[in-house]
Structure 1
Amino acid sequence: MDDKHHIPREHGQLGENQARKYLEQQGLIFVEQNIRYPFGEIDLIMRQGKELIFVEVKYRSTSHFGGAVNALSKKQIQRLRRSAEHYMQIKKIDVICRFDLIAIDAGQLDWLKNAF
């Protein structure tokens, strides 16, 4: 990917904060944000009832290149799943979890539950 189309970190942060606010408005409870491991990272962790939700936030300032929804590769999904498993192991959490995607394209937010 050339630098011109790479999303600056501060834009990603804005997207994550926007996603967090939106999910809180939908009744989800914030758990943690920006969890990083050598093999992957988790943008947001939310809770809904007893369910833990690992949220990948994809932010695009324009909808070029297929938009945010199509920006998730198989490799990224594998890294996110591995990070989530690791997180649950080290926190000794044994609950149902799901993976959601928040796609923010040119200011429009889409929430895909059970995205992968």
Structure 2
Amino acid sequence: MAAKTPAQRQGRRAEDRVLAFLQHQGLVLLERNYRCRYGEIDLIMEDGPTVVFVEVRFRADRRFGGALESVDRRKQAKLSAAAAHFLQEKRLDRPARFDVAGLTPAADGPLIQWIRDAFQAD
């Protein structure tokens, strides 16, 4: 799906950067922008035997908090439900974790902050 608005294009570029970064760290892409009735998961990757659900956040302006802080309890619950749906749909019985990757502007290019195992499913 092509991004239409400037914000969608910016979000897609942020996902592209995070995807390349995580692949460089050895993770393997399973699916991108997985959608179901519970919500959307930006990146679903493998880290060895573990399925990794990655939420990508970009903040151009820190006045409203950083990218990583924007994944609140409500968002975590939606991600957990969507991840459970994905695992059931794909019939995967493997360890899973939730990572958050935040992009923030920096003088020498966007800074990627990656939090492995950022939260636990409820």
Aligned-partner Cα distance in 1 for 2:90–2:82 = 12
**Aligned twin of 1:3:** none
Alignment pair present for 1:110 and 2:109? no
**Aligned twin of 1:61:** 60
**Runs of 5+ unmatched residues, structure 2:** 1-5
Q: Which amino acid aligns with 1:37?
A: C
Q: Which amino acid aligns with 1:23?
A: L
Aligned-partner Cα distance in 1 for 2:75–2:56 = 12
- Please say which of residues 7-16 and 92-101 is displaced more in the overlay: 7-16
Aligned-partner Cα distance in 1 for 2:72–2:50 = 25
Q: CA deviation at 1:66?
A: 1.4
Aligned-partner Cα distance in 2 for 1:13–1:42 = 13
Q: Which amino acid aligns with 1:103?
A: G
Q: CA deviation at 1:64?
A: 2.5
**Aligned twin of 2:49:** 50
**Aligned twin of 1:28:** 27
SS at structure 2 position matched to 1:95: coil
Q: CA deviation at 1:61?
A: 1.8
Aligned-partner Cα distance in 2 for 1:78–1:10 = 26
TM-score (norm 1): 0.90
RMSD of aligned alpha carbons: 1.1
Aligned-partner Cα distance in 1 for 2:36–2:72 = 18
CA deviations on 1:6-62 (whole Å, 9 max, x unpaired) are: x81111111111110000000111111000112211000110111110000001123
Alignment pair present for 1:86 and 2:85? yes
Q: CA deviation at 1:67?
A: 1.1
Q: How many positions carry a matched residue from both structures? A: 110
Misfit runs of 4+, over 6 Å: none
Aligned-partner Cα distance in 2 for 1:62–1:94 = 40
**Aligned twin of 2:94:** 95
**Runs of 5+ unmatched residues, structure 1:** 1-6
